[in-house]
Amino acid sequence: MKILQINASYKPAFIYGGPTMSVSKLSEEVAKAGCTLNVYTTTANGTDELPIMPNITKSVDGVEVSYFKRITKDHSHLSPALLRALWRNAGQYDVIHIHAWWNLVSVLSALVAQLKRVPVVISPRGTLSDYSFDYKNSLIKKLLHNWLGRPLLNRSFIHATSPAEQQSLQQIIKPRHIFDIPNFVKIASSAKTKLKEDSIFKLLFFSRIDEKKGLDILLHALALLKIPYHLTIAGNGDDNYISFLKNIAHYNNTERYISWIGFRHDDKFDILAGHDLMILPSHNENFGNVVIESLSAGTPVLLSEGVGLAGYVTKNNMGWVCQANPQSVAGVIQDIAINQKNKLQQISAYAPGLIHADFDENKLVQRYIGMYQHIIKSKRP
């Protein structure tokens, strides 16, 4: 079985957060399982380019990755070199797996693959939802979707990462089949024992800083708290938007209770383990890798209803779910800190083991391989 993964970014472009890490981990695990797997990507690294010679193939943690030059510096990620290579080589693969949507790498790669009559599976990764249509360039998205996107998607197989995303996709497109398989997520090897040294409730936001993530909601919620707390914000994003968020904290007189520590990678699990509660108040989130990472480190989570893993967390009693507004966020935080400290300790004790069982890499990779096998068998003559 020969699989080609296509994503506009690949590690070490960690600036794009969870999707880049999930695609990399998926590629590594499928390759380790014995499949022939290649990756086509671009040199995208935010507004900069990765320090990698373009249009060459190199081995990255056991995966053959071809990095192609892009000619746009924004989220369109146009790469004629990638599309030319795909046109030449698409027929060599049994399945082409395309990640994300609303960029020219994904949309045009789907078009090329279908013209070459190679089965396509697309993982939208949160980019196909009611929220995404109304979030940034909404008119362009709707025009592109009606003219080109919907026909391509309806002729493809679709991979959702959570039941919530699957349900959302079923309301927008009618593809050949939708598979529901969780992301591969690198999890903590072990959870550290939490030692409560003081009465300050240690809150953490650990994500890419973007309007979609609802950090502004959390910052407004802080002004409503009546408990001792400190919020750590780990992540990066647009400088202008971060300045806007810092002005919220200044206006609310809460900035002295906040630490902005920027993007973190190597010490991620130490940071997660060092806090009492990880909060992700996103407006819309197909999955939420950091939820699994946090629970694997023994840190309970507070999620908005828009996070794809909210149902999983509720079902397994590993955290709390709130509405995406300051009053709801503040109310739940306050209740946890005052009335549910025992539950925090209980979650810290049992969540890591459950996460290791549910996100076992050997089990997950067999589900992905099963998806590819299903697609190959369904190939139209």
Same structural domain for residues 175 and 273?
Answer: no
For residue 275, what pLDDT is reported?
A: 96
Characterise 67 by phi-psi region: left (phi > 0), alpha (psi -120 to 50), beta (else): beta
Do 257 and 231 meet the contact criterion of CB atoms below 8 Å apart? Answer: yes
CATH number at residue 54: 3.40.50.2000
For residue 18, what pLDDT is reported?
A: 78
pLDDT band at 46 (very low <50, low <70, confident <90, very high): confident
Amino acid at 172: I
Do 283 and 307 meet the contact criterion of CB atoms below 8 Å apart? Answer: no
* Average pLDDT over every residue of 59-64: 96
Asked, for residue 101, whether it belongs to a domain, the answer is yes
Q: Distance between the two ends of the chain, CA-based, in angstroms?
A: 18
Same structural domain for residues 153 and 225?
Answer: no
Is the pLDDT reported for residue 380 higher than 60?
Answer: no
Residue with tokens 């989220």: 75
Q: Give the separation between CA 292 and CA 298, rounded to whole angstroms.
A: 10
Same structural domain for residues 25 and 156?
Answer: yes
Q: Give the separation between CA 104 and CA 75, rounded to whole angstroms.
A: 9
Q: What is the token pair recorded at 290?
A: 């950091």
Q: What is the token pair recorded at 373?
A: 């096998």
Same structural domain for residues 171 and 151?
Answer: yes
Sequence-distant (≥ 6) Cβ neighbours of residue 289 within 8 angstroms: 17, 18, 21, 22, 183, 185
Same structural domain for residues 140 and 280?
Answer: no
Nearest to 177 by CA among 169, 186, 168: 169
Asked, for residue 189, whether it belongs to a domain, the answer is no
Asked, for residue 194, whether it belongs to a domain, the answer is no
Q: At what angle do helices 341-358 and 326-339 cross, to 10 degrees?
A: 110
CB atoms inside a 10 Å sphere around CB 254: 18
Asked, for residue 191, whether it belongs to a domain, the answer is no
Same structural domain for residues 140 and 48?
Answer: yes
Q: Give the separation between CA 279 and CA 333, rounded to whole angstroms.
A: 9
DSSP codes joined into one string, 200-263: -EEEEEES-B-GGGTHHHHHHHHTT--S-EEEEEE--B-HHHHHHHHHHHHHTT-GGGEEE---
Asked, for residue 162, whether it belongs to a domain, the answer is yes
Asked, for residue 190, whether it belongs to a domain, the answer is no
Asked, for residue 31, whether it belongs to a domain, the answer is yes
Could you give the number of structural domains in the chain? Answer: 2
Same structural domain for residues 141 and 53?
Answer: yes
Same structural domain for residues 341 and 370?
Answer: no
Is the pLDDT reported for residue 196 higher than 70?
Answer: no
Asked, for residue 294, whether it belongs to a domain, the answer is yes
pTM (global) more than 0.75: yes
DSSP state of 150: H
Residue 36 forms beta bridges with which residues? Answer: 2
Same structural domain for residues 19 and 157?
Answer: yes
Same structural domain for residues 352 and 372?
Answer: no
Same structural domain for residues 162 and 25?
Answer: yes
Same structural domain for residues 313 and 210?
Answer: yes
pLDDT tens for 119-171 read 999 999 887 876 666 666 566 666 777 677 789 999 999 999 999 999 989 98
User: Poorest-confidence range of 177-181, 203-207, 377-381?
Assistant: 377-381
Range of the domain at 80: 2-184+360-377
For residue 195, what pLDDT is reported?
A: 57
